Amino acid sequence: MNTEFSFNKMINIKRTFKQLAYISVFNLLLLGTSQANAADIGKWQKFEASYQNTTYAANPFDLTFTATFTHTQTSTKVTQLGFYAGNDTWKIFFMPTLLGEWTYVTSSTDSDLSGKTGSLNSVASGLPGRLKPSGNRWVLEESNKAEAPIIIPTRQWFKSTDTQNGISNFINWADNTVKARLIGTTLVYFLHEQAAVPYIKGKEGVEFNIPMWDRLNDHFDTMRDRGMGFYIMLYSDDAESPNNHGVQAQSEAEIRLLRYLVARFSAYPIVLWDSGIDIGETRTNSWIDWFADWMNSNDPYGHPVSSRVGGGSGGKTPNNAGFISDGAETLPEHTSLVSTWNAASRPIIFTDRWREDGGRGGFNRTKIRRAVWEAGLVGGTGVYISGNDNGGYLTTTYQSDFKAAPDVGIASAFFRDAVRQFGQLEPRSDLLSSGNAVLSAVPGKEYVAYLSAGGSVQISLAAGSYQAYWLNPRTGAKTQITGFTNVFNASDSQDWVLHIHDGSAIVIPDIITPTNVKLNITRPTN
């Protein structure tokens, strides 16, 4: 007997937890005092210390200002860059990575900002921690749970709009509908409107447009509290090349930019750095290695860094990259994707924006959905996907622009919440006796097959007792399979997902919707 479930049932209770989860970040305004009182800050949340200095007369973005944080119980030390925040104010952002007490002391070339001390108490938050490479897979630090990262892109609208003026709704949609783990943006543009440019126009390379950076911090705070993060491509290309606007390779202006970038944006758990679009047009391969090494040395949290290659992108993967940023314009053939993943020592993300209904790559809703399933089933390979408005960067039209969004959410939720051993699934086409499918398996325990055009498949199952169901990747409906052997027949020629798991106890939601399992985030007491 077939039983159909609607992938939209399970989650209202957990969504309520999530709505209570937004944690107000503790703003500590010291205004010249030397000692800060301890505050409770959630692990992976952001501690902020602020100091005024009215005597510094040179470029305030060049003042050296750091704080060294020490974890009392383990003596772990983290040195964090500070930054100029405007109005004679300098700030330090810090993210506690361990529970318990942290103390800190500041250091600066200006005596008014040196020797400030304080402490904080890190408490449990329920956040998933950093997204980290583990061999050629992605894992979330707190649970050590494997991930298939979904990234969606945005640009001017995201950078020029306050969080409460539509961006928070976009973030909610990205989380609940797309179930994206990251939102991506290209940071440095010079020719866009002032609100979306990181520099004050006419002072490129010298003076930063602080309100834009403030807006991004506000967006990233909201995303972090939903268990999300961000992907930053540093530079764009063509007329937006940094070389055309006073930011030369390894120059004082470029170092100033990288220092400000790390100071403002590193104190978040889920961050991916990338050098830029078609970086080979403006930077050498030796610069690409230098960039990755600089970020690895100065980002105190060790967020993964890379440089896009492949497709139309020049350059190389840095020697010390944390991941492979693959600029292929379309999903490679499955055999090629599998061989690349098997040979890789780092996880992979396809970082060319695969645009629904755009000309490049020939993607439509069906092909976007297929790419997400096929990439995810190869060790959790990530994708960067979008609609086609505004050059493939999502803006106010995001819901109508990106029609595949709910399909992507179903796939992402399935990988996160339904697959029991996602971190152990490996491509196993050798177990496919007949039929056409992308098959990954932990033999004897779990099998997942994606059939892009339905049909019949025969799978060589290890001896054992199994349960199985068909998942409709277009609707999220689930149909149990009873009385099966090792031959499975899809109901039509559309795409289908087959999930087989051993007969031990398993908790699978009635269905895996984009709004499925939510985080239970604890609010710290300030």
pLDDT digits (tens, 9 = 90+) for 301-349: 999 999 999 888 889 999 999 999 999 999 999 999 999 999 999 999 9
Please indicate, yes or no, whether residues 328 and 430 belong to a single structural domain of this protein: no
- Picking from 393, 418, 443, the residue at the C-terminal end of a domain is 418
**Within-domain flag for 374:** yes
Please indicate, yes or no, whether residues 307 and 187 belong to a single structural domain of this protein: yes
Whole-number pLDDT of residue 39? 87
Please indicate, yes or no, whether residues 393 and 439 belong to a single structural domain of this protein: no
pLDDT above 70: residue 273 = yes
Backbone angles phi, psi at 9, to 5 degrees: -105, -40
CB 414 within 8 A of CB 512: yes
Whole-number pLDDT of residue 19? 36
Lookup: tokens for 428: 């196993």
Whole-number pLDDT of residue 358? 84
Whole-number pLDDT of residue 24? 36
Please indicate, yes or no, whether residues 156 and 184 belong to a single structural domain of this protein: yes
Determine the Cα–Cα distance for residues 341 and 347; give it in Å rounded to an integer. 8
Question: Residue 457's domain spans which residues?
Answer: 424-502
**Within-domain flag for 155:** yes
**Within-domain flag for 5:** no
Give the distance, in angstroms, between the CA of residue 425 and the centroid of all CA atoms in the same chain: 21
Task: Give how many domains the chain has, as a whole number.
Answer: 3
Reduced DSSP (H G I as helix, E B as strand, rest coil) percent helix, strand, coil of the chain, to 5:
25, 30, 45
Please indicate, yes or no, whether residues 232 and 341 belong to a single structural domain of this protein: yes
Is the overall model pTM greater than 0.95, yes or no? no
**Within-domain flag for 128:** no
Please indicate, yes or no, whether residues 182 and 316 belong to a single structural domain of this protein: yes
pLDDT above 90: residue 16 = no
Please indicate, yes or no, whether residues 388 and 444 belong to a single structural domain of this protein: no
Question: Kind of pairing, strands 271-276 and 229-235?
Answer: parallel
**Within-domain flag for 516:** no
What CATH number did the domain enclosing 433 receive? 2.60.40
**Within-domain flag for 131:** no
- Name the residue type at position 508: I
**Within-domain flag for 292:** yes
Query: Predicted confidence band at 511 (pLDDT cuts at 50, 70, 90)?
Result: low
Check residue 525 and report its DSSP letter.
P
**Within-domain flag for 3:** no
What CATH number did the domain enclosing 42 receive? 2.60.40.10
pLDDT above 70: residue 8 = no
CB 282 within 8 A of CB 318: no
- Name the residue type at position 513: T
Helices and strands in the chain: count of H runs, count of E runs? 10, 29
pLDDT in tens, 22-35: 333 334 444 434 45
